[in-house]
Amino acid sequence: MELKSVNGGQETLCIKVNKVYDWVTRQSDVPLISFNASDLGTTLFFDCPENCLSPSPCGTEPCGTLGNSFTVDCFVSDEDGNPVDPLAPGSILCTEITQPEGRANGTFTLPTGETVTLQKVKVLKKGFVVVCVTSPQGIVCQTRPIPFAVAEKFFLCAPPGTFLQCEITDFECDANLICHPCPTPGTLTFQQLDVSINMCQSIQMEALVKLEITAEFCAPRPELPFVCPALTFPPQCPTIFPPMVPCPTP
């Protein structure tokens, strides 16, 4: 059903909207995050259960807790380790890095031979991931939140007064855990954890502007009436419960 015009005619209107000055997309690769045995208890912390599968001490790292068979996953979290949707606004911070002298200009030549002047915009993306190590028996060792960050520069049409509008459109996290055999047969100890993070981003430079357009005001459409359906009853089962048969006349 179409919206109805309030007065039936068009007129000149002034509206306030965000104008997009430039828009690009790019894949962003976070530098590899790597931990070794010396990082345990300092920059890397695992929370493991008390029930172990090997003689090594429990509660500190997954290799001594889960044995030599496990799967490794990672997910985006908040600073407390709670899972969050990586594509939801605010889950991953994406903000412009303020430059003391402002956005520097750069001159570029287009394929057509025309030259354009663009501004250098620095963008910071940062957040947290949690690595989850699971044994076939369902025993889980989980890291505390691991921070990540990556800074990039873009050359965009970004004159003074424009602001950054950043959106994460895709996110991928991979983790690889390496365990090292101990001198004691059948036991393992933590050697290395590598975390790889890739994301896709939509970068826009916008400004709030006022535009004059020719349009007409509209009113909401009439709401469709709600009709209650007729009452229905389940069909009878004559085989199990046959209809009543009149008694024979004496």
Q: What is the pLDDT of residue 186?
A: 61
pLDDT tens-digit map of 121-178:
999 999 999 999 998 888 888 999 999 999 999 999 999 999 999 999 999 999 999 9
Q: Average of pLDDT values for 97-101?
A: 94
Centroid of chain to Cα 193 = 23
Average pLDDT along the chain: 85
Q: Give the per-residue pLDDT at 48.
A: 82
The DSSP symbol for 9 reads: S
In the predicted structure, residue 74 carries a pLDDT above the cut 90:
yes
CA 30 to chain centre: 15
The torsion angles phi and psi of 63, rounded to 5 degrees, stand at -60, -45
In whole angstroms, what is the distance from residue 212 CA to residue 219 CA?
21
pTM for this predicted structure = 0.76
Distance CA 61, CA 48 (A): 7
Task: Give residues with Cβ within 8 angstroms of 81, minimum separation 6.
Answer: 128, 130, 142, 144, 145
CA of 167: how far to CAs of 9, 147, 157, 221, in Å? Answer: 38, 19, 18, 33
**DSSP 8-state code for residue 1:** -
pLDDT digits (tens, 9 = 90+) for 176-228: 999 887 766 667 788 999 999 999 999 999 999 999 999 887 777 776 676 77
Pick the closest to residue 190 from 36, 49, 48, 56 (CA basis). 36
- How far the first Cα of the chain sits from its last, in Å, is 68
Overall residue count recorded for the chain in this entry? 250
Dump pLDDT digits (tens) for 232-246.
Answer: 777 766 665 555 555
Q: How far is CA 104 from CA 193, 196, 217, 225, in A?
A: 39, 32, 43, 59
Residue-by-residue DSSP string for 23-57: EEEEEEEEEEEEEEGGGBTTTB-EE--S--SSSSP
